[in-house]
Amino acid sequence: MTNSSVHRFEGRVVLVTGAGGGIGRAVAERFAAQGAKVAVNDIKADMVEAVVAAITAAGGAALAVPADVSDAAQVGAMFQHTEDHFGYVDVLYNNAGLIDTARHFLQGDEAWWDRIIQVNLRSVFLCSHRAATVMARRRRGVIISTSSGGATRSHRGNVAYDATKGGIEAMTRAMALDLAPYGIRVNGVVPGFINTYGLTEEQLRIREKTVPMGRYGVAEDMVGAALFLASDDAAFITGQFIAVDGGVLVQQRSANVDTFPVEGFPVIPADLA
C-alpha cells in the first residue's frame, strides 16, 4: 500500500464491492492505507480473505464480507455484518460486475441478458438503496459506482454490458437528485483500457496503440479519482463521472486509423529541445 502517512479517511467506514482483485482491490487497499476501516466484498471468499490479510498485515483495518451482491438477502446480510462490526457505512464503492460478457446481439438469449443485468445493474441498486437508507438518517454519505465508456459509446458484442453501464450512469444522476437533500453525494468513475484481466503482451501492445497517452492503464490508476470523489475535497460534486482513460473517450478515431500521423510523435520542436 502507498500513501500510508495520509489519514484523510481516519474514522470513516468504506464498503467496496468486487474488491477481490483489480480495481476494487486497489481502491480498498488505498482507502485502508489512508485510515479508513474497509469492508471487503467479493463473491469469492478466498479472494476476500487475501485482501483482508494484506490490509491488516500493512496495519490497516478490514473486514471480510463475501456475498453475491445481485442477491437482496445477501446484500442485507453484508451491510448488517459491516454495521455490527464497524457501526455504519460512510462510503459505498459499487465496483462488482461481470466483464467477460461478449456475445453478438443475434446470439444473445434471455439467460445471458438477465445474468448481466442482475450482476452489473441490479447489484448497484440493491447496495445503493441499502446504504442510502442508513446514510439518510445520518445526513451524510458517499456512493460511488464504476461505469464504462460503454455507457455513452458502444462495444461491439456487448449490448447487455453497455446497457448496464448506461443504466448505472442514469441511476447515478437520478440518485444524486433524490439523495442530495440528505447530504448524500452520488458519483462515479469511468475506466478506460485498464489491464485487470490477464491479456498477453501482444494483446496489450495492440490495444494500447488506441490510447492517446500511449499506454494501457493499471488498477492503481483508478484509485485517485475514487478517493477524490469520496473525500471532502469533492464536497460540492454530485451526479458526475470522472473518466480515467488516458484520453480514449475524447478522440473521434483511434490512433491506428486516424488520418493524422501518430507514429513518431511526440516531436519536440527544435526551439524547445
Give the residue numbers annotated as catalytic, written as ranges: 161
84: its cell numbers: 455490527
SS3 85: helix
In 184-265, where does DSSP find H-type helix?
Answer: 201-208, 223-230
Q: CA-CA distance, 150 to 163, in Å (whole number)?
A: 8
Phi-psi region of 143 (alpha: psi -120 to 50; beta: other; left: phi over 0): beta
**Cβ contacts of 5 within 8 Å, gap of 6 or more:** none
Q: Which of 164, 109, 193, 135 is closest to 14 using CA atoms?
A: 135
Q: CA-CA distance, 169 to 174, in Å (whole number)?
A: 9
